[in-house]
Amino acid sequence: MATASALGKVRQIIESDPMRRFVVVSAPGKRFSGDEKVTDLLYQAFEEKLVDGNCHSTMTKIRDRFLSIRDELKLDLDIEKYLDEVEEGINRSENQDYAASRGEYLSAVLVANYLNYELIDAEEIVKFNIDGFYDSEITEDRISMLKDRTEGVVIPGFYGRKPDGEIKTFTRGGSDFTGAIVAGAIDATVYENWTDVNGFMIADPKIVKNPFYIDVISYEELRELSYMGASVLHPDSVFPVQAKNIPINIRNTFEPQNPGTMILAKSARDDVDDYPVTGIAGRKGNTTINLKKSMMNNELGFVRRVLSVLERCGISVEHIPTGIDTMSVVLSEKGFEIVPEEKVINDIKIAVNPDFIEVTHSLSLIAIVGHGMAKRKGTAARVFSALAKSNINVRMIDQGSSEINIIVGVEDKDFENSIRSIYDEFFVD
């Protein structure tokens, strides 16, 4: 969506199949390395407004981006009036969501004109309640009324509207979620998510050189990998389509002939193929609180009291490996940005009076994901053997109850080498 050339490819893709009637667009991204995404510029515009009272300086950059696309495409579109409306709106707004949403809105204005499709503003159909939580029932009812349309429509992604008229955005990458909402509500045959890569890779190409692409992945596997850092698709995007078994197809705008990655129901992955592991993903920067107390397993409410302390402090828990007398709680290191570490530890001591408690930092979590693991003997052994061969110490082991993932904790300094070692074990002859 960043250039006129890219929009030309978008038009070719859409017009090549008359079934592509519902188009959800994102904001323009980077045109080249070092460039700025339009959404980032819009956040900057809001900050400028807070400091200087208006956002004129940053809006000049944003204007240039959209005017250049309009002019290169030779569109008969008075986009200046929309840009004026956006600048005035940011100057009046009291929260950054309005500003952040305007990249998608302006993209939709351009694309609708370019395709000669009807523009339907997301604020008219995507609804949040007064507390800012997404209202799926009202939204799906609104969008379902569009399902019998025979002419094409363009909908901006990423945002909707609260009952008081205030614009509310999803988290970054929320255009993926909007697309899934629309696909689910209209009972689409498939939700195509067009991006700039040929689908999901088995591992991060910044760590593993030329990793294989994943041709088919299940909703569950996608959720596990996305949560652990694989960022091709917004992790919540599976929910609106999963209930109706609508496939998601990740495709490359710049290589439309590539079939990409299909995301299907678990049943589609039941057969164990040559690769029990579907993907590998992870993230650095986790903290572990390690507790030990004799007869902990007989003490009713021990785990609950520990978790209650973390809940009161507003800290989310990633994993909880336990033993008879031991318990580890894995947290993101961001958890201690709001409440000091010392206070959290002191509150836990008061709550459960452990014999021993310590905090370790710089823990990386790596998820090895695949439905085939549950049916193939020795998968875990191969993971730990690969790490041992690379002289990597495993600090934590956790296997999900669904048996589609094994999570290992290693020191941050071993993160990249761990992923390469596991990849080589399963995918390199």
Q: DSSP class of residue 213? A: B
Q: What is the pLDDT of residue 400?
A: 63
Kind of pairing between the strands at 118-119 and 22-25: unpaired
The domain made up of 279-427 is a member of CATH 3.30.2130.10? yes
Distance between CA atoms of 302 and 306, rounded to whole angstroms? Answer: 6
Average pLDDT over residues 165-182: 93
The burial class, CB within 10 Å (0-12 / 13-18 / 19+), for 25 is buried
Average pLDDT over residues 147-156: 95
Q: What stretch(es) of the chain map to CATH 3.40.1160.10?
A: 4-189
Q: What is the pLDDT of residue 229?
A: 78
Average pLDDT over residues 283-310: 94
pLDDT at 390 over 70: yes
Kind of pairing between the strands at 279-292 and 191-195: unpaired
When pLDDT is cut at 50, 70 and 90, the band that residue 415 belongs to is: very high
pLDDT at 234 over 60: yes
When pLDDT is cut at 50, 70 and 90, the band that residue 413 belongs to is: very high
pLDDT tens-digit map of 34-47: 999 999 999 999 99
The burial class, CB within 10 Å (0-12 / 13-18 / 19+), for 47 is middle
For CA atoms 171, 153, 259, 379, give the dihedral sign. positive
Rounded to 5, what percent of the chain is helix, strand, coil? 45, 20, 35
pTM: 0.85
Q: What is the pLDDT of residue 258?
A: 96
pLDDT at 23 over 80: yes
pLDDT at 1 over 90: no
Q: What is the pLDDT of residue 271?
A: 54
Average pLDDT over residues 390-412: 86
Average pLDDT over residues 348-363: 95
pLDDT at 81 over 60: yes
Average pLDDT over residues 107-111: 98
Q: What stretch(es) of the chain map to CATH 3.30.2130.10?
A: 279-427
Distance between CA atoms of 113 and 397, rounded to whole angstroms? Answer: 54
pLDDT at 397 over 70: yes
Nearest Cα neighbor of 264 from 238, 232, 229 is 238
Residue 343 to residues 26, 153, 336, 340, 348, Cα–Cα distance (Å) = 42, 53, 10, 5, 9
Distance between CA atoms of 409 and 360, rounded to whole angstroms? Answer: 12
Question: In Å, how far from its chain's centre is CA 25?
Answer: 16
Instruction: Please report, rounded to a whole number, the percentage of residues in the chain having pLDDT higher than 70.
Output: 97
Q: What are phi and psi of 301, to 5 degrees?
A: 80, 5
Nearest Cα neighbor of 44 from 30, 55, 31, 29 is 55
Q: What is the pLDDT of residue 401?
A: 62
Q: Domain 4-189 class?
A: alpha beta
Look at 151-160, 352-361, 369-378, 382-391 and tell me which has the smallest mean pLDDT: 369-378
State both tokens at 141. 């009812």
Q: What are phi and psi of 314, to 5 degrees?
A: 75, 30
Distance between CA atoms of 143 and 367, rounded to whole angstroms? Answer: 36
Average pLDDT over residues 229-235: 79
For 78-231, strand residue ranges (E) read 118-119, 153-156, 159-161, 167-169, 191-195, 216-218
pLDDT at 265 over 90: no
Amino acid letter, 93? S
Distance between CA atoms of 334 and 319, rounded to whole angstroms? Answer: 15
Look at 116-125, 254-263, 325-334 and tell me which has the smallest mean pLDDT: 325-334
Question: In Å, how far from its chain's centre is CA 204?
Answer: 15
pLDDT tens-digit map of 54-73: 999 999 999 999 999 999 99
Distance between CA atoms of 146 and 228, rounded to whole angstroms? Answer: 35
Distance between CA atoms of 275 and 232, rounded to whole angstroms? Answer: 21
pLDDT at 270 over 70: no
Q: What are phi and psi of 287, to 5 degrees?
A: -120, 145
pLDDT at 272 over 80: no
Phi-psi region of 210 (alpha: psi -120 to 50; beta: other; left: phi over 0): left
Average pLDDT score, the chain: 92
More confident residue, 1 or 133: 133
Q: What is the pLDDT of residue 266?
A: 67
SS3 assignment, position 298: helix
